[in-house]
Amino acid sequence: MTALLEIRNLRKAYPGVVANDDVSLTVQPGEIHALLGENGAGKSTLVKAIYGLIAPDQGQMLWQGQLYAPRAPNMARATGVAMVFQHFSLFDALNVAENVALGMDHPPRLRDLSTEIARVSTDYGLPLDPNRRVGDLSAGEKQRVEIIRCLLQKPSLLIMDEPTSVLTPQEAETLFAALHTLKDQGKSILYISHKLKEIRALCDQATILRHGKVVGTADPQTATAADLAELMVGTRPTAIARQVRAMGDPILTVQKLSLAPRSDNDTPLRDISFVIRAGEILGIGGVAGNGQDALLAALSGERSSQGDSIDLTGTPIGALGPTARRALGLLSAPEERLGHAAAPAMTLTENTALTGWDRSSLARGGWLNWGKAQQLAQDVITRFDVRTPGPQAVAQSLSGGNLQKFVMGREILQDPKVLVVNQPTWGVDAAAAAAIRQALTDLADQGTAVIVISQDLDELTEIADTFAALNEGRLSPTHPMADLTQEQIGLMLGGDTPIMCSEISPPEAQNPGPALAAP
């Protein structure tokens, strides 16, 4: 069988780094092929070369046995290559059909395109209303727009970069069914993901990159997740080291916190209440779109609330902004790293100065100490193994996972009293995720109160001391994580309050029966 795509000895270097070094890979027709590797391993560079966004320095690419060297994405699309990027490229003010048209080289009339969108999306089990405004769609529906836009091009190869990072488990299952339909039609998929469970369930073959080189191939359906992780990072994954620690005094108290929605697609917060103590990790779980962004904005100070709804060590801070809260020790890291947590065109040093100028004493008398800011940025790079040429690299030049490591490290190294993070390991590889979770655990061991908002229940189960579920803007009561079963967590995520084992009297207390005589 002639391979659909064959890459031979591809090399691509940038100043200070070789992104792809003698990379070879083969994708067969009708194959779902996983491309694995830790952040900075060279995955993005490789798929950019396939899609015509960059030109390799050396090596060859063959398409169905013929030389393939696209000089631009439109040439790749004309050949039969389509790509769904990790970050959406959609205009919220336009409807679905208008957004799809903008991504096509030769779009038909909008009326005809709308009909085709409705038909194709239904055929693949990803139904879309072509007339809906994109700004009103959920993250999962926006992902559908990107996928349908690619499928309308009738590609032979579909490249997908972290496609499930913003999807609920139900939406992910729907996507997998659509990908199997494509496979049955003889289409090929090059699939990038850090979620090894879904790689093992979905993919036929895997190529693993490390430091820009191919270090092996594997059959994901027979290899274990630990085997794949070891190939990716070079060492066997280790469990999180946790100390047995006593919780300190309450440090952050939230009482009846409510926020009105900003738009029709926004989720309001309704009477949020909880208390977190020094040294405690509170895990807040929930399916995307249930108020996670609003909760982080309310806690960080991006959105103000009733003055007494949030109390930090005896000081009401509900009416304070982010700068004042950071000065008091409440730091945060939002989910959207590029554009929210970091300014894309600014260097890592400048991004460090943006959040650390007061907390880390980077300014005096109105003047920034750039040398000190650069040293802090370098400390983050070194401590959290951020793959970048140095602190003068701009944020948008980093891979998604490396930027996530930088954002998390920047906040952790500023000695917070309370740290609030949303999706702390989104889009990062297994080794980086373990490093971030360990850093959060170490921070709690030092007495910091840590609030982790995450859709990854495995993550919360691993590091959280207490758990609460966010559903439609309401937060459940908190419970010790060790007392919860998966079934109880599922009920909480759905908005129900499960009966806790500790709330049920033991059988002998309900019906003690006759006492036994002492011998």
pLDDT at 169: 65
Q: Kindly give the pairing relationship between strand 188-192 and strand 157-161.
A: parallel
Same domain, 223 and 300: no
Looking at the structure of the chain, the number of domains it has is 2
Is 90 a member of any domain? yes
Name the phi and psi angles at 272, rounded to 5. Answer: -75, 130
Q: Region 99-111: what's the mean pLDDT?
A: 91
Q: Looking at residues 28-36, what average pLDDT do you find?
A: 96
Q: Is residue 510 part of a domain?
A: no
CA 19 and chain centroid, separation: 22
- In whole angstroms, give the CA distance from residue 353 to residue 186: 51
Q: Is residue 171 part of a domain?
A: yes
Q: Do both 190 and 273 map to the same domain?
A: no
Residue 436: inside a domain: yes
**Span 477-492, mean pLDDT?**
86
Confidence of residue 216 (pLDDT cuts 50, 70, 90): very high
pLDDT reported for residue 168: 63
- Distance from CA of residue 281 to its chain's centroid? 19
Strand locations in 286-346, DSSP E? 310-312, 315-316, 330-333
Same domain, yes or no: 378 and 410: yes
Percentage above 70 pLDDT, the chain: 92
Q: What is the mean pLDDT of the chain?
A: 88
Q: Bridge-partner residues for 469, per DSSP?
A: 285
8 A C-beta contact, residue 426 and residue 335: yes
Residue numbers of the domain that contains 61 = 5-233
- The reply to whether 242 falls in a domain is no
* Mean pLDDT of the region 365-372: 91
Segment 85-101 shows an average pLDDT of: 89
Q: Is the pLDDT of residue 432 over 90?
A: no
Q: Per-residue pLDDT for 501 more than 60? A: no
Residue with token string 């013929």: 66
Q: Residue 244 is which amino acid?
A: V
User: Do 283 and 193 lie in a common domain?
Assistant: no
Structure confidence at residue 476 (pLDDT): 93
Q: In the predicted model, is pLDDT for residue 195 greater than 60?
A: yes
- Specify whether 404 is located in the same domain as 468: yes
Helices (H), 27-72: 43-50
Band of residue 166 on the pLDDT scale cut at 50, 70, 90: low
Task: Point out the least confidently predicted range of 67-81, 352-366, 501-515.
Answer: 501-515
Query: What dihedral do alpha carbons 60, 65, 67, 69 form, nearest 10°?
Result: -70
Residue 170 sits in the same domain as residue 292: no
Residues 317, 213 share a domain: no
Assigned domain for 224 exists: yes
Query: Domain of 224: which CATH number?
Result: 3.40.50.300
What's the pLDDT at 512?
37
Are 257 and 119 within one domain? no
Statement to judge: residues 471 and 326 lie in one domain = yes
Residues 177 and 52 reside in one and the same domain: yes
